[in-house]
Structure 1
Amino acid sequence: METKEGPLYAPAGPSADMTRSLEEDSMVDGPLISADALHSAIRREFQTIPTPYHAGLLSLLHVVYVVLSVCLAVLCVMKVGQEEVCASVLGKVQGDSVIVFGKAILWVLVLLFTGCMQHHHSRARSRGYLRFYREMQGLKHLPFTVHSAGNVLLLVVLAARLQTQVEIYMLLIVLGLELLVAVPCLLYYTVKVMRFNRERAAPDVSQEEHSRNFSVTSVPTETGFRECSSLEEVVEKQADLIEYLKQHNTLLSKRLLNLTAQH
């Protein structure tokens, strides 16, 4: 197809090739940024997750609550020779009521801790650590689930209106089982997060890119939709890639500005 000025799609001549080659040479002659420098910059900007301290404090409070509940049940509910001390400390409040009130306060603390975990893990996810976010997804909600199940069992025991001795034994059994499940979960969570903070790894996309650059046998990560992958997983991977690229471009801009200032 031709117009009055000549062909619509004219082949590029030698001048166009020479211009393109000069532009490419000017880009190549510029200062190159090594991948190791970018990875080291990402590692320096790594932000730790502070929840291990909260988990340790919550575990300590849980242990102290269970120990005090056992002492309160033995001395004040079963009345093993300490009625006057319990009356002076608790007043007209029953010992089993104090145990239930303490359980409610502990549940509120676990709820606040779960919200704090969700906030910090969501921030880690936005910084590109989607694999770590998925790995901790079930574990970070497990303490709250255990405490909520313990509350349900306590309500069942109280609603059954058993004898005082039987009821307090059942309460202590529920609290003991809850302690044996919740505290190991918190300790395991603490170890996992402390290991993540100590490794100070680069975002997931950066690690995959680095492994593809230095490993011939590595399989490229697929970011598109496949029959065996869910749409939610694909969207999360794409969001992870976008967040990483934003950080990657920010680091590139900083490096270019520093190199420009040096020259």
Structure 2
Amino acid sequence: METKGPSLYEQAGPSVDMSRSLEEDSLVDGPLISVDALHSAIRREFQTVPTPCHAGLLSLLHVVYVVLSMCVAVLCVLKFGQEEVCMSILGNVRGESVILFGKVCLWVLVLLFTGCAQHHHNRARSRGYLRFYRQMQGLKHLPLTVHSAGNVLLLVVLAAQLSVKVHTYMLLSIIGLELLVALPCLIYYTVKVMQFNRERAAPDVSQEEHSHNFSISSLPTETGFREGSSLEEVVEKQADLIEYLKQHNTLLSKRLLNLTAQH
């Protein structure tokens, strides 16, 4: 019986091993990247959320609108001896209409601010700041909710067909109540975002890894199912985390290539 010759794999064995060893040697002999350099490159990726400036400007415009509305209501609607001044400034436009037009413009500004805040918070979420995103998720929509509720109350007052004096006082009460509720919300939102920008913290995953590495009694992460948490919330957190990790791995690959080329 004839003996079989060496298999193709055995014949190509030395060459395969040689090419594999050359690849491994090239990887080992390549420039090593220090951990400090990589971490310093990652820390520069922090981007602040610029919405505190928008919130401050919106708060200022809200206060100015309320003050001007009260002046127009007292001088032009209730007509406390300033009819000529109102006619020279407003012309044939009624003072009540000016207040309502200003209310519509203010609501549009609040809507634009909410959309802008949502855009920047979504970017922070994609960069791995999931905890910050969830903390601010309801707060950034609260001013729009307050102004929308005020618009509904104004429509009810307009439909009631009250006397001019009662109607004006109701209008001023609704506008003042909006200011008392929406302004503290915007101030609190501004403080929280400024605190986030000042801390310049690492993404949530990096913070959890740091706590597990340097703390024995570290708390467990929130990526798994915990008693008292809903399944939808857990699935949403995991989806956010997976999406962030994909982007983070892509970014790390680019950083590694750049740092390898520099060394």
Give the 3 Å change call, closer, same or farther, for CA 255–57 of structure 1 in structure 2.
Answer: closer
Is the 1:157–1:170 Cα contact (8 Å) retained in structure 2?
yes
The equivalent of 1:189 in structure 2 is 189
TM-score (normalizing by structure 2): 0.83
1:134, CA displacement in angstroms? 0.6
Is the 2:143–2:185 Cα contact (8 Å) retained in structure 1?
yes
1:41 equivalent to 2:72? Answer no
Give the 3 Å change call, closer, same or farther, for CA 213–29 of structure 1 in structure 2.
Answer: farther
Q: Distance in 2 between matches of 1:255 and 1:116?
A: 30
- Tell me which amino acid in the other structure corresponds to 1:232: E
Q: Distance in 1 between matches of 2:24 and 2:136?
A: 46
Is the 1:38–1:251 Cα contact (8 Å) retained in structure 2?
no
Aligned pairs for 1:79-228 within 5 A: 79-221=79-221, 223-225=223-225, 228=228
Please state whether the residue corresponding to 2:138 is helix, strand or coil: helix
Q: Distance in 2 between matches of 1:98 and 1:110?
A: 18
- Tell me which amino acid in the other structure corresponds to 1:93: V
Give the 3 Å change call, closer, same or farther, for CA 228–39 of structure 1 in structure 2.
Answer: farther
Q: Distance in 1 between matches of 2:58 and 2:205?
A: 34
Q: Distance in 2 between matches of 1:258 and 1:94?
A: 65
Percent of aligned positions with the same letter in both sequences? Answer: 85
1:62 equivalent to 2:62? Answer yes
Give the 3 Å change call, closer, same or farther, for CA 113–258 of structure 1 in structure 2.
Answer: closer
Give the 3 Å change call, closer, same or farther, for CA 76–201 of structure 1 in structure 2.
Answer: same
Please state whether the residue corresponding to 2:178 is helix, strand or coil: helix
Structure 1 runs of 4+ off > 6 angstroms? 23-32
Residues matched between the structures, number: 246
- Tell me which amino acid in the other structure corresponds to 1:127: R
CA RMSD of aligned residues (A): 2.8
Is the 1:205–1:240 Cα contact (8 Å) retained in structure 2?
no
Q: Distance in 1 between matches of 2:30 and 2:222?
A: 32
Is the 2:75–2:83 Cα contact (8 Å) retained in structure 1?
yes
Is the 1:76–1:86 Cα contact (8 Å) retained in structure 2?
yes
Is the 1:77–1:95 Cα contact (8 Å) retained in structure 2?
yes
TM-score (normalizing by structure 1): 0.83
1:236, CA displacement in angstroms? 2.4
Please state whether the residue corresponding to 1:173 is helix, strand or coil: helix
Give the 3 Å change call, closer, same or farther, for CA 180–155 of structure 1 in structure 2.
Answer: same
User: How big is each residue's C-alpha offset from its partner over 1:226-263, in whole Å with a ceiling of 9 and x where there is no partner?
Assistant: 56432322222223322332343234324432453355
Q: Distance in 1 between matches of 2:25 and 2:222?
A: 33
Give the 3 Å change call, closer, same or farther, for CA 256–122 of structure 1 in structure 2.
Answer: closer
The equivalent of 2:5 in structure 1 is none
User: How big is each residue's C-alpha offset from its partner over 1:51-85, in whole Å with a ceiling of 9 and x where there is no partner?
Assistant: 11111111111000000001001111111111111
User: How big is each residue's C-alpha offset from its partner over 1:136-169, in whole Å with a ceiling of 9 and x where there is no partner?
Assistant: 0110111001101111111111211111111111
- Tell me which amino acid in the other structure corresponds to 2:111: L
Give the 3 Å change call, closer, same or farther, for CA 54–33 of structure 1 in structure 2.
Answer: same
Please state whether the residue corresponding to 1:220 is helix, strand or coil: coil
Is the 1:69–1:99 Cα contact (8 Å) retained in structure 2?
yes
User: How big is each residue's C-alpha offset from its partner over 1:185-236, in whole Å with a ceiling of 9 and x where there is no partner?
Assistant: 1111011111111111111111111111111111332534456432322222
1:104, CA displacement in angstroms? 1.0
The equivalent of 1:231 in structure 2 is 231
Q: Which runs of 5+ in 1 are unaligned?
A: 1-22
The equivalent of 1:256 in structure 2 is 256
Is the 1:56–1:190 Cα contact (8 Å) retained in structure 2?
yes
- Tell me which amino acid in the other structure corresponds to 2:250: T
